[in-house]
Structure 1
Amino acid sequence: MNYKIVVDSCGELTEEMKQSGYFESVAMSIELEGSTIVDDETFDQADFLKRIAASGECPKSSCPSPERYMESYAGEAERVYVVTLTAELSGSYNSAVLGKNLYEEEYGKKQIHIFNSKSASVGETLIALKIQECEEAGMTFEEVIQTVEEYIESQKLYFVLETLETLKKNGRLKGVKALVASALNIKPVMGATPKGTIYQIGQARGIKKALAKMTEMAAEGIQCGENKILGIAHCNCRERAEAVAEMIKEKKNVKDVIISNTAGISSMYANDGGIIVVI
């Protein structure tokens, strides 16, 4: 195995990715009412959503330590690629870079590259798959980096959530203009800027209309002839995710569709019923 792809746990790995042996997830964690929930294979989404609903507290997320990243760089793989949650909203990227420095101080130089996804959730998943595609095509380390960085620049992320409270309380909506009062049942359509921060693209009354608006925007973001994979992450609402996928496919052709249930960090921010679309 000449290469390895490390993804922080905000990015969901599909079953095929887990079984391939090429991917490793580095766990982030969540603090809620004095207890720590580790975002790994032990994460129980149903229990977590129940605890959130019953709690008056806002959960907080923590990124992996540099030491944990350092461990993930070890092993036989000659080339290690890392995909982290957008550096604008998390310390995960910086932690991964520090981990690389620690690794090289102790073991010497190795081909390690850390990608700032400027994205989250299934956006990270698609970036990880792009790395694998480039490696399997026989590209050099430098060619993989250049191709994937270009892919990151072209990627577009949209989301519609039932509530933005967790993002707001954790300071992830800085710079977003005042959002319309939820009493009117106005649901904002949100997106990621090229830098990897969050902004509001539009809004609609009610979740169905907001999702429809988001699918229009996502479809418009697909250039004619582009051979792109559509990624959709959902928090406990697969039927909603499948409906969004169908609406986008009716408007534009896509190479493939990946639908995943959100892992811990994405569940914390998306909340029950949230939908994230990446193209």
Structure 2
Amino acid sequence: MSYFIVADSACDLPEERLAQLNVGRCPLTANFQDGTVLEDSFREMDATAFFDGMRSGVVSTTSQVNTAVFYDMFHKALQTHDHVLYIGFSSGLSGTYQGAILARNTLEEDDPGLAGRVIAIDTKSASLGVGLLVLEACRMRDQGASITEVAEHIENQKNHINQFFTVEDLVYLKRGGRISAMKAAVGQLLNIKPILCVNPEGKLIPIGKAKGRKKSIQALMDHFRENYDPAYGKDFAISHGDCLEEARQLANLIKSEYDMNEPVIHPVGMVIGSHSGPGTLALFFPGKPREDFNPAL
């Protein structure tokens, strides 16, 4: 039976890459102070312009995927395919996954003949953590795997996608309620860079800190050493907030020590970037099951 894979824009794979993979894309949105609303892409504003705006004080809020967008995507796909497989942004970070479930349920109420034809996976992941799972699902699809085989594999794999972040400026974590204003002020004064992870519940939590940017990048490398397991694959990915050279530096560190595939490196999208800021550096790789760290900072 044929099936169509759908992702949302928080997977941080570029639109053109998803189009090449024949994956449906449902966008979140970024909402700017001047009233401009943009889809979560760099079609109308490139990544450097977006992050430069943030550096100069532009603030944007974000919105989850409209349920009607999911409804239309699922309905259209089911006109030509037997099933839809939606691989979604963590429910611990956004209401987007719940919106997809609402769209599916509404679709089934409107047409009971479509019941059971949309399978949704809450990846408990963000950014290219979701992206790696989408790429894996596409590889399996193209090799002839059934939707049941793909869905079971992604469900089993998702907690093995380790996800560690660092940020350049604590103001964005303060704005999002991740740390207090006092800790942000002290951290900025002392040049403290937080280390964060996405935990098994799909929530972003601070788990440590480093003094200065160089040591924070080294901390990401240390987490790779501690948690990578080649039994789960050789793919890895790095997303970044307009700091490509540092992303490449981290990738080269990893490749100098480990036999890995070429990394997927892309900018953090507008939606996740609005909450993490310029200078975000995020590392995603397969390995040991994600740990439930005690929050730090």
TM-score above 0.5: yes
Q: Tell me the residue number matched to 2:49.
A: 47
**Residue 54 of structure 1 aligns to which amino acid in structure 2?**
S
Q: Tell me the residue number matched to 1:8.
A: 8
Task: Spell out, residue by residue over 1:141-173, the C-alpha distance to the aligned partner (whole angstroms, 9 max, x if none).
Answer: 2222111011101111001110243243234x2
Q: Tell me the residue number matched to 1:202.
A: 208
Cα distance in 1, alignment partners of residues 57 and 208 from structure 2: 30
Give the 3 Å change call, closer, same or farther, for CA 174–50 of structure 1 in structure 2: closer
Correspondences of 1:89-104 after superposition (within 5 Å): 89-104=93-108
Q: Tell me the residue number matched to 1:32.
A: 32
Cα distance in 2, alignment partners of residues 251 and 202 from structure 1: 24
Whether contact under 8 Å (2:47, 2:267) holds in the other structure is no
- Number of matched pairs: 276
**Residue 53 of structure 1 aligns to which amino acid in structure 2?**
R
2:109 aligned residue (88, 98, 105)? 105
Tell me the SS of whatever aligns to 2:256: helix
Give the 3 Å change call, closer, same or farther, for CA 123–224 of structure 1 in structure 2: closer
Q: Tell me the residue number matched to 2:70.
A: 69
Q: Tell me the residue number matched to 1:117.
A: 123
Tell me the SS of whatever aligns to 2:81: coil
- Residue 85 in structure 1 maps to residue 84 in structure 2: no
Give the 3 Å change call, closer, same or farther, for CA 220–26 of structure 1 in structure 2: same
Task: Spell out, residue by residue over 1:17-39, the C-alpha distance to the aligned partner (whole angstroms, 9 max, x if none).
Answer: 33425212211112221422321
**Residue 11 of structure 1 aligns to which amino acid in structure 2?**
C
**Residue 27 of structure 2 aligns to which amino acid in structure 1?**
A
Give, in angstroms, the shift of residue 125 of structure 1: 0.8
Correspondences of 1:1-279 after superposition (within 5 Å): 2-14=2-14, 17-35=17-35, 36-40=37-41, 41-55=43-57, 58-73=59-74, 74-75=76-77, 76-107=80-111, 108-109=113-114, 111-171=117-177, 173=178, 181-279=187-285
Give the 3 Å change call, closer, same or farther, for CA 98–169 of structure 1 in structure 2: same
Give, in angstroms, the shift of residue 190 of structure 1: 1.0
Give the 3 Å change call, closer, same or farther, for CA 256–50 of structure 1 in structure 2: closer
Cα distance in 2, alignment partners of residues 170 and 133 from structure 1: 36
Cα distance in 2, alignment partners of residues 225 and 117 from structure 1: 20
Percentage of matched positions with identical amino acids: 24
Give, in angstroms, the shift of residue 138 of structure 1: 2.6
Cα distance in 1, alignment partners of residues 230 and 137 from structure 2: 23
Tell me the SS of whatever aligns to 1:181: helix
92-101 or 7-16: which moved more?
7-16
Whether contact under 8 Å (1:9, 1:264) holds in the other structure is no
Structure 2 residue ranges without an equivalent (≥5): 286-297
Cα distance in 2, alignment partners of residues 16 and 38 from structure 1: 14
Whether contact under 8 Å (1:45, 1:267) holds in the other structure is no
Using structure 1 for the length normalisation, give the TM-score.
Answer: 0.89
108-117 or 63-72: which moved more?
108-117
117-126 or 30-39: which moved more?
30-39
Give the 3 Å change call, closer, same or farther, for CA 133–52 of structure 1 in structure 2: same
Whether contact under 8 Å (2:90, 2:122) holds in the other structure is yes
Structure 1 residue ranges without an equivalent (≥5): none
Tell me the SS of whatever aligns to 1:156: strand
Give, in angstroms, the shift of residue 229 of structure 1: 0.8
